[in-house]
Amino acid sequence: MPWWSHQGEDTPIYTGRVATCQCSSRDMTGAPETARPMSGHGKQQQLLRHPALAAGHGSGSGMGRRRYLAFLAIAAALVASYHLLHAPTPSSRYHALFLTLGSNASAAAHLRALTLRPHVAGTPANALAAEYVRATLSSLSFPTRVTPYSVLLSYPLHRSLSLSAPGRATKSFSLTQDTYPNDPYAEAAAEVVPTYFAYSGSGSVTAEVVYANYGDRKDYAYLASRGVDVAGKVVLARYGDIHCEDMVRNARDAGAAATIIYTDAKDFGGPAGKGKRKWFPNTRWLPPSGVQMGTLYYGNGDPTTPMWPSCAAGEDCERLSTEELEASEAMPGIPALPVSGRDGETIQKAMGGGVAPPEWQGGEGAPVYRIGPGPAVLNLTYIGNDTLATIENVFAVIEGKEEPDRYVIIGNHRDAWTFGAVDPNSGTAAMLEVAERLSQLEKKGWRPRRTIIVCSWDAEEFALIGSTEWAEDNIDMLASRAVAYLNVDISVFGPGGLMPRATPQLDELIKEASKMVPDPDDPSHTLYDYMIRQNPPIARVAGAGTDFAAFVQHIGVPSLDMSYGLFSEYPVYHSLYDDFVWMERFGDPLFHRHVALASVWGLIALRLADDEIIPFNYVPYASELEESSKVVEDGCPGCAVSFSPLHKSIKQLEKAATKIHMEKKVLQAEKWGLNTRERTLKVREMNDRLMMAERAFTNREGLAGRPWYKHMIYASSDQDDWGTKAFPGIVSAMANAQKLNTTESWRLLQHEIYRGARAVSKASAVLDGSLT
CA-based R_g, the chain, Å? 26
d(CA 230, CA 187) in angstroms, rounded, equals 42
d(CA 202, CA 212) in angstroms, rounded, equals 22
pLDDT reported for residue 38: 32
pLDDT at 14 over 50: no
Average pLDDT over residues 375-382: 98
d(CA 557, CA 695) in angstroms, rounded, equals 6
Residues 6+ apart with CB under 8 A from 384: 154, 155, 156, 157, 196, 199, 200, 201, 202
pLDDT reported for residue 602: 98
d(CA 419, CA 422) in angstroms, rounded, equals 9
Q: pTM for the complete prediction?
A: 0.89
pLDDT band at 545 (very low <50, low <70, confident <90, very high): confident
Q: What is the pLDDT of residues 130-150, one digit of tens each?
A: 999 999 999 999 999 999 999
Q: What is the pLDDT of residues 443-473, one digit of tens each?
A: 999 999 999 999 999 999 999 999 999 999 9
Average pLDDT over residues 712-734: 80
pLDDT reported for residue 675: 87
**What does the mean pLDDT of the chain come to?**
89
pLDDT at 387 over 80: yes
pLDDT reported for residue 722: 52
Question: Of all residues in the chain, what percent carry a pLDDT higher than 90?
Answer: 82
pLDDT at 489 over 70: yes
pLDDT reported for residue 97: 97
Least confident of 37-41, 185-189, 724-728: 37-41
Query: What does DSSP say about strands 377-398 and 450-457: parallel, antiparallel, or unpaired?
Result: antiparallel
pLDDT at 665 over 90: yes
pLDDT band at 64 (very low <50, low <70, confident <90, very high): low
Residue 554, SS3?
helix
Element containing residue 561 per DSSP (H, E): strand 559-564
pLDDT reported for residue 739: 92
pLDDT at 56 over 60: no
pLDDT reported for residue 535: 86
| DSSP state, residue 388 | E
pLDDT reported for residue 723: 54
Q: What is the pLDDT of residues 586-634, one digit of tens each?
A: 999 999 999 999 999 999 999 999 999 999 999 999 999 999 999 999 9
Residues 6+ apart with CB under 8 A from 447: 398, 400, 401
pLDDT reported for residue 71: 55
pLDDT reported for residue 272: 80
d(CA 607, CA 600) in angstroms, rounded, equals 11
pLDDT higher for 12 or 81? 81
pLDDT reported for residue 9: 35
pLDDT higher for 770 or 49? 770
Question: Of all residues in the chain, what percent carry a pLDDT higher than 70?
Answer: 87
DSSP for 150-217 reads EEEEEEEEEEEEEEEETTEEEEE--------TT-TTHHHHTTSPPS-EETPPPEEEEEEEEE-TT--H
pLDDT at 193 over 70: yes
DSSP bridge pairs for 370: 355
For the chain, what is the total number of helices (H) and then of strands (E)? 25, 18
pLDDT at 256 over 60: yes
Nearest in space to 199 (alpha carbons), one of 463, 460, 424: 463
Q: How many CB atoms lie within 10 A of CB 137?
A: 24
Q: How many CB atoms lie within 10 A of CB 173?
A: 20
Cβ 457 vs Cβ 467: under 8 Å: yes
Catalytic residues: 460
pLDDT reported for residue 70: 55
d(CA 631, CA 727) in angstroms, rounded, equals 10
pLDDT reported for residue 721: 52
pLDDT reported for residue 241: 86
pLDDT band at 13 (very low <50, low <70, confident <90, very high): very low
Cβ 531 vs Cβ 607: under 8 Å: no
3-state secondary structure 653-717: HHHHHHHHHHHHHHHHCCCCCCCHHHHHHHHHHHHHHHHHCHHHHECCCCECCECCCCECCEEEC
pLDDT at 40 over 60: no
pLDDT higher for 13 or 452? 452
pLDDT reported for residue 544: 64
pLDDT reported for residue 724: 57
Least confident of 153-157, 377-381, 512-516, 733-737: 733-737
pLDDT at 73 over 60: no
Q: What are phi and psi of 421, to 5 degrees?
A: -65, -35
Q: How many CB atoms lie within 10 A of CB 473?
A: 17
pLDDT reported for residue 75: 54
pLDDT reported for residue 542: 73
Q: What is the pLDDT of residues 266-281, one digit of tens each?
A: 999 998 866 688 999 9
pLDDT band at 718 (very low <50, low <70, confident <90, very high): confident
pLDDT band at 711 (very low <50, low <70, confident <90, very high): very high
d(CA 654, CA 545) in angstroms, rounded, equals 30
